[in-house]
Amino acid sequence: MTSIDRQMRRGQRGFIITMCSEETFRDQYVVLGVIGRGSCAQVILAVHRLTGILVALKVLSKVAGIFETIETEVELMKCVQHCNVVQLFQVIETMDYMCLVMEVALGGQILWHIPRDRSLEEQEARRAFRQVVCALHYCHEQGVVHRDLKVENILLDKAGNVKLCDFGLGNRFRAGQKLSRACGTPEYCAPELYNGEEYNGPAVDAWSLGVTLFYMLAGRLPFDGKTVPELAEILDASCEMPAHVSAEAQSLIRQLLTVDPAERAMLPQVLEHPWLCQEQKHSPGHPRQPLPNLPNPTVLGMMTEDI
């Protein structure tokens, strides 16, 4: 590849992009392996040679039609600074790729910790779910809707704390604003998305929370459809609750999996639900001030200086 002269430029929405050649980029990072793949991206575990900082690199191909989506994801991640959201450190651009340098969650997807056709213990599920709700509530307060909440997008750090990731389908919204783009993972999509209606973004996230909690407590999805038409039958919203799930947990799931979005439990209500408040300790909430970037800004400066 022809080398791109090193430069710094500010993207259209205000974030900093470091331009470099692929060769220069590879000189700065040691790739340890691929830890995730998607249709247009792969996530790589890497270490910065100079500082020894371990990072996750989300590498996205700059194919036609997705560059604006990449910019949107970066914009949203830059404005969401929360202890239970994966932090974005830097964006590096080469001729063919955009690379998001992010905080690494060594515990992997929470999905990996849920035995198939079994479940997490309710106490364990409650702790993780509370952190997911706190992170998502904070996002909504910042005017950001996720629109692809699922167990695959909930990561754990080495201490077992939740790190919400993948804002590729996220969007900005204002109070009372309706969104129109139907997107997300079909098994987690709210009924109003199948109707082709304009919808309330936070209400769609709330439905996905219900599917996620069901999965945590049952080890399976609540609706059995394999195709979009089959899944559209969730308009009936009838799912069989596992017998071992407590009555209070079932109550919360039903409030989230309410077909009418106007009647669906929203996140402030969820945070006050008796099941979620059981055995509550001083778990991380949603900070009023942005958290400092990690690693230390001095270290981050060393990471970017040579690129």
Quick check: 169 and 184 in contact, CB under 8 A? Answer: yes
Determine the Cα–Cα distance for residues 84 and 166; give it in Å rounded to an integer: 13
- Overall fold of domain 108-277: Transferase(Phosphotransferase); domain 1 (1.10.510)
Q: Is there a common fold for 7-104+290-305 and 108-277? A: no
Strand order in the sheet with 154-156: 108-109, 154-156, 162-164
Q: Calculate Rg over the CA atoms of the chain.
A: 20
Q: What's the CA dihedral at 140, 205, 152, 59 to 10 degrees?
A: -50
Look at residue 18 and give its three-state secondary structure: strand
Beta strands in 53-190 (DSSP E): 54-61, 88-93, 97-102, 108-109, 144-145, 154-156, 162-164, 171-172
Q: What's the CA dihedral at 263, 269, 275, 280 to 10 degrees?
A: 170
**Residue whose C-alpha is closest to residue 70's, from 173, 181, 170, 184:** 170
* 7-104+290-305: CATH class: alpha beta
> Is 5 in the active site?
no
Does this model's pTM top 0.85?
no
Averaged over successive runs of 10 residues, the pLDDT of the chain (307 residues) comes to: 32 46 75 81 88 89 70 89 93 83 92 80 95 97 96 94 94 93 92 90 97 94 80 71 93 94 96 89 46 50 48
**Residue whose C-alpha is closest to residue 17's, from 99, 87, 81:** 99
**Residue whose C-alpha is closest to residue 216's, from 83, 103, 126:** 126
**Residue whose C-alpha is closest to residue 235's, from 253, 255, 258, 251:** 258
pLDDT score of 35: 85
**Residue whose C-alpha is closest to residue 74's, from 46, 93, 55, 96:** 93
Domain segments of the chain: what residues? 7-104+290-305, 108-277
Catalytic residue among 5, 27, 117, 148: 148
